[in-house]
Structure formats: structure tokens, C-alpha cells
């Protein structure tokens, strides 16, 4: 992978996955905006930027909160003033507020959605017109197995993470004509967010550095678009949102519920399942089946 001459913004890049992504882009030749919040334990973004500079790369630290649209806009403006373009955005910033659903507060829900979903919205929209104007852009959303498949105690996190897939699906369609490709990474790694969840031997194998290669690929010149890639411990897979062939029922619709119940296993059969390219394909699939029975 060669990112020479390209500019990448990585949010939440002071630690964990974001730090690994930022370092990987810098090693591959990109100029990197290392975005993360400073706190009582120091300025992690500045530390990562310094690490890149010490290795001979180009980087700048930025402390904008992804929940603050004005600060995000300023980050983008400063990047353009400094380097003249933005080629890559990795929406990595995130937080956890894990609780079982019955104990989940509205603040827990809003805080997680504000950082993961709204943060990605702010950052993506802030770079969108720049990428359209230069007819090139690569955006990587960070989803999660919790959003794709569910996980106890993470209703807020899972909802926000699956929402990012929905955002990716639409933006990949809207960005296609402008050379903008949008993908999602579902990482499994040992970070501050997972250190209390995974065992020590598993944590040792699941380093952030084993996820970052997938992010580089999804942000590369030859990247696909509308791809959900899972990555962890050196394993890489594709997750898909698809639909089965299903059945077509005719006649009086008042009896359809009973037919669905009797034929549910047939409806759920994944043989020849399809992955729709857009929201129009499911109804078109249904209408095609209807036409065959007419």
C-alpha cells in the first residue's frame, strides 16, 4: 500500500485502534491528522503525532471533539490550509456506556449515539464537499459485531454501530459518481474498550496492529465500496446484510399469517440468498415473484 501524497484524518487516534491506524497510514506515506481528546492523562493525539514525526513522517495533532461540529469544521479547514486536500477519513472515535437494557439511561444512549453516529456524521459531512470537488475520497466507518449481531449489555453501542452501516450503505451510493468509496470495518482488538471483556491470552493475540491492514485496504485507491469487513487477530472476513429467496403467497391476505407460520423454515432457508445493491431491490424482487404468479 502506498499512500504517498495523500492526506488522512483518523479520529480517536490517540490510543488503541486509532493509534494503530494512524501509524500504519504514516508508514505507508500518508500525511496524517491525529484526532483525539486531551484529558487528565495527557494529550494522546500529540504523542502519536510526535511518534510519526520522529519516524520521519508527516502528522499534526488535533483535539477536536467529534461531537462538536464547529470544532470538526475547523479541523477540516486547518487540514486543507496545511495540505490542500483530504483523501481519507477514518471514523474511529468511540466510547462505551455498557449496561443491560433495563438499567440503560437516556444519557447512556445519547452519549454513545452522539460520539459514534453523530460524530461520524459531523466528520463525514465536513469532508464530503472537498472529496466531491477533487473527485476522490475514501471513508471508513467503524462498525462492530455488537451492531451486526448483538451483544448483551450493549443496546446503545450496538444501535449506534449498526446505524453506521446504514450511513455507509447510502453514502456509498451517493458518493459513487464522485469517486468517493465508503466502507465499514468491524474490528476485534484488545483496547481500553475491551480490556475488561476478553481474557489475557485472547487479548495478547488481538492487537490493533492486526486490524489496521484492513483499514488501509478499505481506504486504498483500489478499495471496494459498500463493504463490511470484519478483522481480528489476523483474520479477515466479509459481513453482509442480505435476504433469502423467501416465498410468494397469493389469495386472501387475512390468511397470510398462518401460511407464514407454517412455511417459516422455507422463508428462512438461506439457499441462493441475495445481497441487494440498494433499497429498491427487495420490492423489485417481490414484484418479480408476484408477476410469476399472476
Burial of 238 (0-12, 13-18, 19+ CB in 10 A): exposed
**Backbone torsions φ then ψ of 290, nearest 5 degrees:** -60, -45
- Give the Cα separation of 3 and 83 in Å (integer): 14
Give the three cell numbers for residue 232: 481480528
Residue 193, number of CB atoms within 10 A of its CB: 17
Q: Are residues 100 and 78 in the same domain?
A: yes
55 lies in the same domain as 105: yes
Any idea what the CATH number is for the domain that residue 95 is in? 3.40.50.720
C-alpha cell at 219: 481506504
User: Is residue 274 one of the residues assigned to a domain?
Assistant: yes
Residue 246 forms part of a structural domain: no
Average pLDDT, the chain: 95
**Mean pLDDT, rounded, for 192-212:** 78
Whether 80 and 197 share a structural domain: yes
pLDDT at position 192, please? Answer: 61
Catalytic residue among 143, 157, 169, 226: 157
What residues does 154 pair with on adjacent strands? Answer: 99
157 is catalytic: yes
- Residue 201 confidence (pLDDT): 77
Q: Flag whether pLDDT at 123 surpasses 80.
A: yes
Within a domain: residue 134? yes
Q: Which residue has the cell 443491560?
A: 100
The whole-number average pLDDT for the span 33-46 is: 94
Average pLDDT over residues 214-228: 98
Per-residue pLDDT at 203:
76
Regarding whether 282 and 209 lie in a shared domain, the answer is no
Q: Which of 239, 262, 284 is the last residue of a domain?
A: 239
| Residue 106 CB coordination number (10 Å) | 8
Q: Are residues 149 and 266 in the same domain?
A: no
Q: Are strands 88-91 and 58-62 parallel, antiparallel or unpaired?
A: unpaired
Euclidean distance between CA atoms 23 and 273, whole angstroms: 39
Q: What cell numbers appear for 240 in the block?
A: 453482509
Query: Is a pLDDT exceeding 90 seen at residue 22?
Result: yes
Asked if the model's pLDDT at residue 197 lies above 70, the reply is: no
Say yes or no: 285 and 211 in one domain: no
Looking at the structure of the chain, the number of domains it has is 2
Provide the terminal-to-terminal Cα distance of the chain, rounded to the nearest Å.
53
Q: How far apart are CA 54 and CA 34, in angstroms?
A: 14
**Residue linked to cell 433499497:** 279
Domain-terminating residue out of 239, 265, 283: 239
**58-62, 199-203, 233-237, 272-276: range with lowest mean pLDDT:** 199-203
Residue 85's domain spans which residues? 7-239
Q: What is the pLDDT of residue 194?
A: 63
pLDDT tens digits for range 59-107: 999 999 999 999 999 999 999 999 999 999 999 999 999 999 999 999 9
pLDDT at residue 193 is higher than 70: no
Residues 261, 234: one domain? no
Average pLDDT estimate for 262-284: 96
Do 59 and 150 belong together in one domain? yes
Residues 226, 134 share a domain: yes
244 within a domain of the structure (yes/no): no
CA distance 125 to 179: 16
pLDDT recorded at residue 191? 63
**pLDDT (average), residues 243-257:** 96
Which DSSP helix (H) or strand (E) runs through 82? helix 69-83
Would residue 99 count as lying in a domain?
Answer: yes
Residue 2 lies in a domain: no
Per-residue pLDDT band for 205 (boundaries 50, 70, 90) equals: confident
Grid coordinates of 120: 461520524
Sheet containing strand 137-142, strands side by side:
58-62, 31-35, 7-10, 88-91, 137-142, 180-188, 228-232, 235-239
212 lies in the same domain as 71? yes
pLDDT given for residue 242 in this prediction:
97
Q: Is 121 among the domain residues?
A: yes
What number of other Cβ atoms are within 10 A of residue 140's Cβ?
Answer: 29
Query: 500529540: which residue's cell?
Result: 46
Q: Where are the alpha helices (DSSP H) in the chain?
A: 16-27, 44-54, 69-83, 106-113, 119-134, 145-149, 155-175, 200-205, 212-218, 256-262, 264-268, 281-293
pLDDT at 126: 98
Q: Do residues 84 and 223 share a domain? A: yes
**Residue whose grid cell is 519516524:** 55
The pLDDT score that the predictor gives to residue 223 is: 98
Parallel, antiparallel or unpaired: strands 228-232 and 88-91: unpaired
The residue-averaged pLDDT of 201-207 equals 81
Residues 229-236 have a mean pLDDT of 96
Q: For residue 82, is it within any domain?
A: yes
Q: What is the mean pLDDT of residues 33-39?
A: 96
- pLDDT band for position 198 (cuts 50, 70, 90): low
Same domain, 278 and 166: no
Mean pLDDT of 264-270: 98
Amino acid at each position: 500500500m502506498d499512500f504517498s501524497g495523500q492526506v488522512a484524518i483518523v479520529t480517536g487516534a490517540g490510543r488503541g485502534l486509532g493509534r494503530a491506524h494512524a501509524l500504519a497510514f504514516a508508514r505507508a506515506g500518508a500525511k496524517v491528522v491525529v484526532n483525539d481528546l486531551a484529558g487528565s492523562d495527557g494529550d494522546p493525539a500529540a504523542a502519536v503525532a510526535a511518534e510519526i514525526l520522529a519516524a520521519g513522517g508527516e502528522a499534526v495533532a488535533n483535539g477536536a471533539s467529534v461531537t462538536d461540529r464547529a470544532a470538526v469544521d475547523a479541523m477540516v479547514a486547518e487540514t486543507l490550509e496545511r495540505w490542500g486536500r483530504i483523501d481519507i477519513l477514518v471514523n474511529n472515535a468511540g466510547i462505551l456506556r455498557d449496561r443491560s437494557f433495563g438499567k440503560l439511561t437516556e444519557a447512556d444512549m445519547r452519549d454513545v449515539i452522539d460520539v459514534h453516529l453523530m460524530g461520524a456524521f459531523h466528520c463525514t459531512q465536513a469532508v464530503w464537499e472537498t472529496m466531491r470537488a477533487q473527485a476522490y475520497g475514501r471513508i471508513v466507518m467503524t462498525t462492530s459485531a455488537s451492531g451486526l449481531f448483538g451483544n448483551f449489555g450493549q443496546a446503545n453501542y450496538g444501535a449506534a454501530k449498526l446505524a453506521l452501516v446504514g450511513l455507509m450503505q447510502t453514502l456509498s451510493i451517493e458518493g459513487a459518481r464522485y469517486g468517493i468509496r465508503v466502507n465499514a470495518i468491524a474490528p476485534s482488538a484488545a483496547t481500553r474498550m475491551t480490556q475488561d471483556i476478553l481474557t489475557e491470552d485472547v487479548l495478547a493475540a488481538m492487537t490493533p496492529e492486526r486490524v489496521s491492514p484492513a483499514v488501509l485496504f478499505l481506504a486504498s485507491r483500489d478499495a471496494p465500496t459498500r463493504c463490511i469487513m470484519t478483522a481480528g487477530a489476523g483474520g479477515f472476513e466479509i459481513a453482509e446484510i442480505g435476504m433469502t429467496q423467501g416465498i410468494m403467497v397469493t389469495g386472501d391476505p387475512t390468511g397470510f399469517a398462518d401460511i407464514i407460520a407454517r412455511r417459516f423454515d422455507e422463508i428462512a432457508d438461506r439457499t441462493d440468498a441475495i445481497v441487494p445493491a440498494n433499497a429498491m431491490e427487495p420490492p423489485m424482487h417481490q414484484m418479480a415473484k408476484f408477476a410469476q404468479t399472476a
